[in-house]
Structure 1
């Protein structure tokens, strides 16, 4: 596992416990390369073990002594050959000046000897350590070397002509770090690359369009827009932004169409899959003197052009009197279009309970899900028997889940009864959801929405005791009047 990989946060603590629990020399334990967060956890755990575990036998393993609570031992460990580079970087932020200075000499020497390898290995860790009071030194040093600056790094205080850490190919290493699995490293490298000013606008747009991390994509996108603001629009760069996977990048491309005199292309983006891009497209249409509303109406009038995103875009600029247009789309053969029409009616605050009840049995899971969302606020008006019939095992799974959502939203005994029945259902998703919802009924700050002293409630609670501790179950029963204070063992 590389230094920039995403490892489990408990791994560093486990390594520390392993090294301190084995023989004094650490025999039988090996500290593998880990993620930056793991090394920080390792350092914290070693100190915790030595401070709070009285009688702990001091290990002579170098990695453990580099993290020892005693600063003299940490400094002595740094003077031994071959200290772990990650722990050296951590010691560069040490609160003891002598330890910190020795660690910084070691890190500077590593940079002078192998700048590219040291930067690859330690950049993720140094970025995290940079938040500490003493962490700026290493971060600024790494930043300078990555910029290609020949930084003088004194490995000993008496050196009159210290060696220089010179990176032979800073652009190549930055490009490599821009592809790092460690997201802070990607963002850091992206900012340095932009600051270097070596990339043209089309290359910046290409990097923005191919970037999956939203924060790094924002860096590339802003740089591309700034380049076009300074040097004029570039059709190739704009087309690349428009074809990006990320919605933020596509929306930037739509916005850039105006400066390029391509406002007429705005209608082609009104039905984008992203609401952000659709909003930018509507803005662009208006900037060109048009109105997106009739454009949407024109698309919805043609069954061959209707998509769920066109329906969503229409609902975003429609009015309540446009509800019949969306109701008509509930007959469309495409399930996602019907679901988008239901979502649009909810956005317009138009609720037709009888119409929505019919949609709960729709063969499309997306439609049933949207119908349940729209009916949640009025779930108390729906017949319990009608909903209960729809959670029966013979019904389609998506209908059962939508109906159960409404039964639970009703609250009271009906919701608890449905939840308890589904705790042993054959559908694992329903079993998980029902268990979670039963547990959510309990709060130390409020009484469950259940009638007091109801025998059926007591029977139902008996069937879900495995979901609560004995203490919580006794409190629930006491609040619901199912046991008296004198019957509660904790009160005796």
Structure 2
């Protein structure tokens, strides 16, 4: 809500003084109307009633026949239900107050609510419905808010396709969902238009809704040529997976094969289904791709895909891909070895020094089950500031899993790390650290480390932690 920084008054006070509504509020923003409604009722009532012009809104029934638009707007938000009801009756003179009528349709006072609903049914036309859709849907989530949504739906069902199309591009995803549901129910969009919406919209609900509707509307072979290319080329995996699955229905299993190496696990799974239904073996396709280990064009999805449908005997192909020049291939090879339960600690350890963050991240995940077998000092060395951030992060993750005094030593050393995430994680680790059973062997060092991190504890908490570790003082 706009605020006048020069005189320090709120929009509510300025409206009470007669300031024009459109110069005080952004009338196209639903949040501004909802904030005004809440502020008039709840914020600084005692102070506001002594402001100039506020006498028009004293907490008693008043005659609003002569009230201007600004004061009538405040009366529509008044604490007193009698004033709100009278304000609703007078609002027919000011169409610009229709957003507040929408809010009053969910009012907790029955007579106010009924008056507002009657007025909304009279005034809401197609143009207003498009403009007010974001606010109506927002109010619709409240108790007693469904009435406005029902009225909106009835009006928009009768409106032109061009008007409804404005809502397809609305920034609020709830508005786009509502508009596309109406379009699907009324069958006002052709299959290729639904497919384009599924491919372009960022909301997963809209993607699923439109992709499903586009495929359900297909009735002949030629229609697939308009829809499938749009779905298969979509950037979002949910829409691509719908297109891949539809290839079986269209009797076109061959175009599904390239999607066996898709970056999305969902798309790969759908592609494997289509390929198997056609009588082919996806694992053979993966093995063929992974055997050509010198192929710089090997898609990383083909590497992890082999682990998703292959056997442990295929681990040899994945081990051979660890030196691959493409970081994505190396990372998926490590992930595949973990999925096949073939991760060997000694063979994977060198990859903790890989220059690619994704490879190191996957390696750390693969080594977590055997973290206690890794040399603690070797990991500690990799938390030094001379190492790259992703290496420090992975090494500390493994030390965190190990626990003990070496992990505390690493955490205290990372309290001065240049990376804020690592500093925060290290501080949290020090605060929750508890001494191991053999802590007395390291009692002097533990005392020194706790003293170096005393800024993380109160004096009392630090004494308790030292006592728990068998450290004096």
* TM-score range for the pair, normalised by the shorter chain length: 0.7 to 0.9
Q: Which residue of 2 aligns with 1:422?
A: 414
Q: Which residue of 2 aligns with 1:138?
A: 148
- Deviations 1:264-287 (Å, cap 9, x if unpaired)? 222221101111111011111110
Asked if 1 retains the 8 angstrom alpha-carbon contact of 2:195 and 2:211, the reply is yes
User: Given the alignment, which residue of 356, 361, 366 partners 1:374?
Assistant: 366
- Deviations 1:372-392 (Å, cap 9, x if unpaired)? 121222222222221121122
User: Given the alignment, which residue of 203, 211, 220 partners 2:201?
Assistant: 211
Q: Which residue of 1 aligns with 2:184?
A: 194
CA distance in structure 1 between the partners assigned to 2:444 and 2:30 by the alignment: 56
Asked if 2 retains the 8 angstrom alpha-carbon contact of 1:423 and 1:431, the reply is no
Shift of 1:339: 1.0
CA distance in structure 2 between the partners assigned to 1:381 and 1:326 by the alignment: 23
Q: Which residue of 1 aligns with 2:63?
A: none
Mark the CA change 1:475 to 1:110 in structure 2 (over 3 Å): closer, same or farther.
farther
Asked if 2 retains the 8 angstrom alpha-carbon contact of 1:241 and 1:249, the reply is yes
SS of corresponding position for 1:132: coil
User: Given the alignment, which residue of 170, 173, 180 partners 2:163?
Assistant: 173
SS of corresponding position for 2:217: helix
- Deviations 1:280-318 (Å, cap 9, x if unpaired)? 111111101111111110111123252211101111112
Asked if 2 retains the 8 angstrom alpha-carbon contact of 1:19 and 1:26, the reply is no
Q: Which residue of 1 aligns with 2:420?
A: 431
CA distance in structure 2 between the partners assigned to 1:461 and 1:47 by the alignment: 52
Higher helix share: 2
Shift of 1:355: 1.3
Q: Which residue of 1 aligns with 2:382?
A: 390
User: Given the alignment, which residue of 114, 138, 150 partners 1:128?
Assistant: 138
SS of corresponding position for 1:194: helix
User: Given the alignment, which residue of 80, 83, 88 partners 1:73?
Assistant: 83
Mark the CA change 1:18 to 1:413 in structure 2 (over 3 Å): closer, same or farther.
farther
CA distance in structure 2 between the partners assigned to 1:26 and 1:417 by the alignment: 66
Asked if 2 retains the 8 angstrom alpha-carbon contact of 1:422 and 1:431, the reply is no
Pairing 1:185–2:155 present: no
Shift of 1:441: 6.0
Asked if 2 retains the 8 angstrom alpha-carbon contact of 1:235 and 1:260, the reply is no
TM-score of the superposition, structure 2-length normalised?
Answer: 0.83
CA distance in structure 2 between the partners assigned to 1:463 and 1:413 by the alignment: 14
Q: Which residue of 2 aligns with 1:49?
A: 43
SS of corresponding position for 1:241: helix
Shift of 1:14: 12
Asked if 2 retains the 8 angstrom alpha-carbon contact of 1:408 and 1:418, the reply is no
Mark the CA change 1:405 to 1:231 in structure 2 (over 3 Å): closer, same or farther.
same
Mark the CA change 1:84 to 1:359 in structure 2 (over 3 Å): closer, same or farther.
same
Q: Which residue of 2 aligns with 1:164?
A: none
- Deviations 1:393-421 (Å, cap 9, x if unpaired)? 22233322222222233223322322222
- Deviations 1:313-356 (Å, cap 9, x if unpaired)? 11111222221111111121212111110011111122211112
Asked if 1 retains the 8 angstrom alpha-carbon contact of 2:75 and 2:83, the reply is yes
Mark the CA change 1:260 to 1:354 in structure 2 (over 3 Å): closer, same or farther.
same
Mark the CA change 1:47 to 1:200 in structure 2 (over 3 Å): closer, same or farther.
same
Shift of 1:221: 0.5
CA distance in structure 1 between the partners assigned to 2:372 and 2:2 by the alignment: 51
Gaps of 5+ in 1: 1-10, 149-166, 488-492
Mark the CA change 1:356 to 1:189 in structure 2 (over 3 Å): closer, same or farther.
same
CA distance in structure 2 between the partners assigned to 1:364 and 1:250 by the alignment: 28
Shift of 1:457: 4.0
Asked if 1 retains the 8 angstrom alpha-carbon contact of 2:260 and 2:268, the reply is yes
Mark the CA change 1:120 to 1:467 in structure 2 (over 3 Å): closer, same or farther.
farther
Asked if 1 retains the 8 angstrom alpha-carbon contact of 2:408 and 2:433, the reply is no
SS of corresponding position for 2:467: coil
Q: Which residue of 2 aligns with 1:271?
A: 261
How many residues align? The count is: 439
Asked if 2 retains the 8 angstrom alpha-carbon contact of 1:263 and 1:284, the reply is yes
Mark the CA change 1:460 to 1:34 in structure 2 (over 3 Å): closer, same or farther.
farther
- Deviations 1:197-220 (Å, cap 9, x if unpaired)? 122222222222222211111111
CA distance in structure 1 between the partners assigned to 2:3 and 2:263 by the alignment: 44
CA distance in structure 1 between the partners assigned to 2:244 and 2:252 by the alignment: 9
Q: Which residue of 2 aligns with 1:85?
A: 98
CA distance in structure 2 between the partners assigned to 1:23 and 1:240 by the alignment: 51
User: Given the alignment, which residue of 22, 25, 50 partners 1:31?
Assistant: 25
